[in-house]
Amino acid sequence: MPAVGDVLIHDYDAVRLPDDAEGRRIFLDERGAEFTVAVTSGRFGVGTELMHALPNLQAVINFGVGYDTTDVDQAAERGIGVSNTPDVLNDCVADTAIALYVDVLRRISAADRYVRRGEWEAKGNYPLATKASGKRVGILGLGRIGKVIARRLEGFDCTIAYHNRRPVEGVAYEYVDSLVELARRSDVLVVAAAGGPASQKLVDAEVLAALGPEDYLVNIARGTVVDEAALVDALTEGRLAGAGLDVFEDEPRVPAQLLEMENVVVLPHLGSGTHETRADMAALTLANLRRFLSEGTLETPVK
């Protein structure tokens, strides 16, 4: 975010890591030992190789709630603190999930394109869509964001169940200990699980098959949580009714097949993309930095 970058440069004399691989290698060879703090975002993180190249690193300050691109295991081994920006983006990411949910079931974006192409006048009324209210919704990952999504879906009179590594205390939603079984019971599966190696391709071909040809997938988590090739196959072969996707395996690249499907809504990873939320994320990122530099602790550590 430019506003954060400006503060880092002007107030902290920060140095930007070169973008090109060769320039980065030379820079890190010459200066990597100088730096004790890295400020990054969920898209880039501080991966294994970069962390090794920063031998005196003490903290990774992350703009965003996701930190799966940072080597947290190495950070823990070396005593490097890692922070993120939780809670401040819950509402907007949940709103994006609901927008995708309504859009893909009611075919809002597709109907908009139908009108813009002049087909309403030329061909008549748009085909019927699927009712969004009263559905059985399974949520993969009932964490901070998953809980907010669930509350919003209550307003649609949906029946909500969820799958986590373990049951969540203090919620009335049904816990299902098998993701395949959750998918089998759901009309819509909403993916809100954290990214990282433990959740990679959790939503695989078996889970998608359990959803079935009249059911939908919504993903606002990380593209890596879904087996994208299996998803494309299921949609292409009519084994899934549609998908609403804000995230992809190899962003910003999106499989060409998805772009051609009228029953798929694709967004450019804008879950938290509002002026208000990004300002709150920026403030929390800088608060983590200030606290670490002054006290050696973090406002919102992830471990």
Greatest Cα pair distance, the chain, in angstroms, is 67
**Average model confidence (pLDDT) for the chain?**
96
Catalytic residue among 49, 251, 262, 276: 251
How many whole angstroms separate alpha carbon 167 and alpha carbon 173?
10
- Domains delineated in the chain: 2-88+274-295 (3.40.50.720), 90-266 (3.40.50.720)
Q: Check whether 17 has a pLDDT greater than 70.
A: yes
Q: Considering only 1-10, 131-140, 166-175, 212-221, which range has the smallest mean pLDDT?
A: 1-10
Q: Quote the pLDDT of residue 303.
A: 66
**What stretch of H or E contains 87?**
none
Q: Check whether 95 has a pLDDT greater than 90.
A: yes
CB distance 255 to 283 below 8 Å = no
**What stretch of H or E contains 186?**
none
Q: Check whether 196 has a pLDDT greater than 90.
A: no
Q: How confident is the model at residue 117 (pLDDT cuts 50, 70, 90)?
A: very high
CB distance 188 to 174 below 8 Å = no
CA trace torsion 195, 196, 199, 200 (10° rounding) = 100
Burial 233-262 (b: 16+ CB within 10 A, else e): ebbeeebbbbbbbbbbbeeeebbeebeebe
The residue ranking higher by pLDDT, 198 or 99, is: 99
Catalytic residue among 107, 163, 185, 222: 222
- pTM: predicted TM-score of the whole model, two decimal places: 0.93
Region 84-113: mean pLDDT is: 97
What is the CB neighbour count within 10 angstroms for residue 99?
20
269 is catalytic: yes
Catalytic residue among 107, 163, 185, 269: 269
How many residues comprise the chain? 303
Distances (CA, A) of 101 to 116, 193, 243, 281: 22, 17, 9, 25
